[in-house]
Structure 1
Amino acid sequence: MRFMHIRTRFAPSPTGFIHLGNLRSALYPWAFARHNKGDFILRIEDTDLERSSQEAVDVIIEGMAWLGLDLDEGPIYQMQRIDRYREVVKQMLDSGLAYPCYMSEEELNKLRDQQMASKEKPRYNGLWRPEPGKTLPPVPEGVSPVIRFKNPIGGSVIWNDAVKGQIEISNDELDDLVIARPDGTPTYNFCVVIDDMDMNITHVIRGDDHVNNTPRQINIMRALGGSPPVYAHLPTVLNDAGEKMSKRNGAMSVRDYQRAGYLPDAILNYLARLGWSHGDAEVFTKEQFVNWFDLESLGRSPAQHNPEKLLWLNHQYIQNSDPVKLAAATKPFAHEIGMDTEAGPDFVQVVSLLKDRANTLIEIAEGAKLFYLPAPNLTADQIKENIAEAVMPALKDLVEAISTAEPTKEAYAAVFKQILAKYQIKMPALAMPVRYALFATTQTPAIDSVLVVLGKEEAVKRLSKVVR
């Protein structure tokens, strides 16, 4: 089925927690809309007043903005459309598509208990459903009814799911759905239908936990004269233990990944591969993903979260990042651990030196600390313990050679090579004492690069303090 103009939506409930599995349900409809030059809409399904919060909405919007999932419309809030839903409920009552049901919750529970005892599927029995020739019970006083949709009797709901293939559900499996509560508040399955119709949604790409809702939504939509969109139900995302991803099972929120020093492009790349593939491509740009994305390449099996794979992917993105942009992304993490990135070497140079070995922005910030700490004030005992007397002549020559060398990695490497050859010693024998003299630690990146970043003047000053 072809559409003149593709319109997709992401419709989360703002109940406080958005993890990678949730975000994948935003990424795929966004990519499908972008690939087809269509529209992507954010709809906030906030009719659950007890659990919904503005903070949760903010988390959703911030997470999508961080990943670069731009919107064409929205956020649109369902609670701001209550009058529209009530208008449609009235139309359905007037046209006989819906009816008031006065069965109390106590009666409904008793009915379900009886059905379960008889090994029947628990379902509403249609007591208040008006039919030709049927006499309804007397309306109880002081009771506000729910409003139920008159689901078709007999036949099936059939749709061709873009991921799961043809699905058929018998109408006999579906009872008359409550579309409005006693206080008039509309229910989820009803609001979704009105929203999708009003917003001209052409494709609904969402998790397969919604498959059971789909036949109900299709029946309501058809009753109202609408044409169902194309449905694509995505298999569940499992955590690394093989359980459904959720906060209860230890899933991290999108904010957690941001705070842990992950790059948004790495997260987006990783999410894209959680249920979709393009040949053997593992690392790709957002532009490539949008260009390649189609529904036919969505997987039918549950995707499993792999933290190690995500960390590896983040490393790839850090390694290949532009140093200027990477430094800007790392600065907040550096400031968080008390570093003054202006009081020391050029931060872009420091980040460029560290990025090839880092998995996260936090690791870069931690590694950068060395360059912004005060010069070590080594005692005579520390120098004697960590820098052997035998290496002092070589260290002295090294300091003199560095002070006249070009301040480049190649020139410093040549100086080291010359001194090592002169004294017939191996690189660690000289490099380790140099590292200790510079930073009071032997753990640093390549020493020739370190000298460039630290600066010749500062390096010579620190080394000169230990030469004896």
Structure 2
Amino acid sequence: MPSSSRAPTGRLAPSPTGRLHLGNAWAMLLAWLAARSRGGRVILRMEDIDTVRARPAFAGQMQRDLEWLGLDWDEGPHFQSHHLDRYEAAMEDLRRRGLVYPCYCTRKELRGLASAPHAGEVGPVYPGTCAGLSSGDCAAREAQGRRPAWRLRCSDEPATFVDARRGEQRIAPASLGDVALRRSDGVWAYQLAVTVDDAAMGVTQVVRGEDLLDSTPWQVFLLGLLGAPAPQYLHVPLLVDASGERLAKRHGSVELAALREAGVRPAAVIGWLGARAGLLDTPIPMPCAAGELIPRFTPAALPSGPVSTPDGIAALLRRLG
């Protein structure tokens, strides 16, 4: 990570919508190491604003899985569902300043953007269809039973941030479209919630998968509007299955609970992940504790591309341990 005289405050921020898997463990181990290697603090935050899918039981299981891996934290767990007033206050400030607008586009209309030539890495770029609606236009749409989402008016000025692997990045938020901050069903969007929470909690270091790199210009722009500094960023390569698909909760065989039930020890998981991250001297993984990797951690050691998880990983890890 970029040098700084202050120890960072990092965060582990899982979404309790399922059980943690090996891909989660990879990202969280690297986030934990990035903070601990510089004498930093770690906050645990449960990103549970998805009220349909989030479950308290998953949150509890995630804490036990992190403890099993040896990843501790200094503060939390915090729950986003307890901070709804915080998001409301931020939205009201943005609304008062004319920085957000209601969007009445239906899901079908938004899906139609997916095949447009301006579709981006984070999805179709919203073209500002509702950005210029008058109060009469809005009233007419609401009379039809439409409820608005709320979008941020994004700037053409580049948002500048430094990624510890990729260097300085300059990306105009408007090139990604006007991002939604609140859904039409009233649920707060990821981009607003994580940005407001990072600012409120004093997070100065964000380590996450490189699939979220394209979200960063929006968040840096929003932090500036809220008067908060941008943290240091490190977007790490993804852990993928044998076909190159990003590991997700649907990959049940690599859930930490399933690995544990198969007789895999946490030291085997940490050793295998540490070897894949380039933090061990030997190409053959050796069991180790998470703390043993702290002095070895450096972003420069991380691989340049996705990290493949072989078929039969549970059996491999069991033999390793």
Picking from 298, 303, 319, the partner of 2:307 is: 303
- 1:371 alignment counterpart: none
Offset of residue 33 of structure 1: 2.2
Q: Secondary structure at the match of 1:61?
A: helix
Worse-matched range after superposition: 30-39 or 236-245: 236-245
- 1:76 alignment counterpart: 78
The 8 Å contact of residues 101 and 148 in structure 1, kept in 2 or not, is answered as yes
The 8 Å contact of residues 44 and 73 in structure 2, kept in 1 or not, is answered as yes
Give the counterpart letter for 1:138 in structure 2: D
- 1:138 alignment counterpart: 137
**Matches of 1:136 and 1:289 in 2, distance apart?**
58
Q: Secondary structure at the match of 1:182?
A: coil
**Matches of 1:106 and 1:261 in 2, distance apart?**
46
Q: Secondary structure at the match of 1:147?
A: strand
Q: How does 1:238-249 map to 2 (within 5 A)?
A: 238-249=240-251
Q: Secondary structure at the match of 1:138?
A: helix
Offset of residue 55 of structure 1: 2.0
Q: How does 1:174-253 map to 2 (within 5 A)?
A: 174-249=176-251, 251-253=253-255
Give the counterpart letter for 1:145 in structure 2: P
Distance 1:120 1:245, change over 3 A: closer
Is 2:25 the partner of 1:23? Answer: yes
Picking from 41, 54, 60, the partner of 2:43 is: 41
Is 2:320 the partner of 1:313? Answer: yes
Offset of residue 250 of structure 1: 5.6
Give the counterpart letter for 2:137 in structure 1: P
Q: Secondary structure at the match of 2:195?
A: helix
Distance 1:144 1:242, change over 3 A: closer
**Matches of 1:253 and 1:173 in 2, distance apart?**
37
Which digits, 9 at most, give the CA deviation of each residue in 1:68-107, with x for residues without a partner? Answer: 2111111111111011101110011012222233444455
The 8 Å contact of residues 12 and 43 in structure 1, kept in 2 or not, is answered as yes
Looking at secondary structure, tell me which structure has more strand per residue: 2
**Matches of 2:150 and 2:305 in 1, distance apart?**
38
Q: How does 1:119-130 map to 2 (within 5 A)?
A: 119-121=117-119, 122-129=124-131
The 8 Å contact of residues 87 and 193 in structure 2, kept in 1 or not, is answered as yes
Picking from 69, 89, 97, the partner of 1:95 is: 97
Worse-matched range after superposition: 16-25 or 161-170: 161-170
Name which structure has the greater RCO, CA cutoff 8 Å, separation 6+.
2
The 8 Å contact of residues 10 and 204 in structure 2, kept in 1 or not, is answered as yes
Is 2:295 the partner of 1:291? Answer: yes
- 1:150 alignment counterpart: 153
**Matches of 2:137 and 2:241 in 1, distance apart?**
52
Which TM-score applies when normalising by structure 2? 0.85
Give the counterpart letter for 2:317 in structure 1: L
**Matches of 1:106 and 1:263 in 2, distance apart?**
47
Bigger-Rg structure (1/2): 1
The 8 Å contact of residues 207 and 235 in structure 1, kept in 2 or not, is answered as yes
The 8 Å contact of residues 35 and 205 in structure 2, kept in 1 or not, is answered as no
The 8 Å contact of residues 99 and 147 in structure 1, kept in 2 or not, is answered as yes
Distance 1:124 1:246, change over 3 A: closer
Instruction: Give aligned-pair identity as a percent.
Output: 30
Picking from 259, 262, 278, the partner of 2:261 is: 259
Offset of residue 265 of structure 1: 1.8
Picking from 175, 182, 186, the partner of 1:173 is: 175
Offset of residue 3 of structure 1: 4.8
Give the counterpart letter for 2:187 in structure 1: T
Q: How does 1:56-75 map to 2 (within 5 A)?
A: 56-75=58-77
The 8 Å contact of residues 274 and 305 in structure 1, kept in 2 or not, is answered as no
- 2:273 alignment counterpart: 271
Distance 1:264 1:108, change over 3 A: closer
Q: How does 1:448-467 map to 2 (within 5 A)?
A: none
- 1:443 alignment counterpart: none
**Matches of 2:108 and 2:264 in 1, distance apart?**
51
Distance 1:285 1:108, change over 3 A: closer
Give the counterpart letter for 1:45 in structure 2: E
Which digits, 9 at most, give the CA deviation of each residue in 1:371-428, with x for residues without a partner? Answer: xxxxxxxxxxxxxxxxxxxxxxxxxxxxxxxxxxxxxxxxxxxxxxxxxxxxxxxxxx
**Matches of 2:110 and 2:29 in 1, distance apart?**
40
Q: How does 1:339-418 map to 2 (within 5 A)?
A: none
**Matches of 2:264 and 2:211 in 1, distance apart?**
28
